[in-house]
Amino acid sequence: MVRTLPDRFLKQVAPDKADAALSEAQRHLNERRWAEAETAFRQLLTAQPAHPGATLGLARALIAQGHGSEAERLLEEFPASPESVEAETLRPLARFVSEAENTGEEALAPIDAQYRQAARLVGRGQFGGAMDAILGVLRRDKRYRKDEPRRIMLALFKLIGDDDPLTREYRQELASVLY
């Protein structure tokens, strides 16, 4: 259905319930109130099961709470939509958190242990510590796991937002380590 100019205008000045619910859930994400965001996105998905914005928001909230496996499933089955690019960016991060969530405490090489610790820190919402650990891995080996740490950092930037002070700080750090 193509929206006419009056339809678009009305949608801007009087958003429907789903738009209001999505805005509220997004506000929780922006404030890093992950559990509240998860609840709000799940409620929206109950009413509109294929809503890509709500699915993406739920995946973000799950990753930040250490539920990488569920987030990974959501992102693997993500519908084609304008949000698909961001979903694809977050997939490595969901897998990263999921691996840490589903592995034991076996003996690891120091670089592998540092990398796993970074994943656990992401799952606890300790993004600065996680990014420090990832940068430490990259300082030791810029090609570790075929560029995966760089992709994880970019996904973390997406997760917490481009305007977040951590993103601005660590984006510069990442550039200085890589180049």
Once rounded to an integer, what is the mean pLDDT over residues 50-54? 94
Residue 54 exposed, middle or buried by CB count within 10 Å (0-12, 13-18, 19+): buried
Give the span between the Cα atoms of 138 and 179, in whole angstroms. Answer: 11
Domains and CATH numbers, the chain: 12-178 (1.25.40)
Give the span between the Cα atoms of 162 and 159, in whole angstroms. Answer: 9
Closest by Cα among 154, 164, 102 to 131: 154
Record the pTM.
Answer: 0.87
Question: With contact defined as beta carbons under 8 Å apart, do 116 and 133 qualify?
Answer: no
The residue type found at 68 is G
pLDDT in tens, 68-116: 999 999 999 998 999 999 999 999 999 999 999 887 767 889 999 999 9
Question: With contact defined as beta carbons under 8 Å apart, do 86 and 108 qualify?
Answer: no
Backbone angle region of 91, left / alpha / beta, with phi > 0 → left and psi within -120 to 50 → alpha: alpha
Question: With contact defined as beta carbons under 8 Å apart, do 170 and 131 qualify?
Answer: yes
Question: With contact defined as beta carbons under 8 Å apart, do 58 and 45 qualify?
Answer: yes
pLDDT band at residue 19, thresholds of 50, 70 and 90? confident
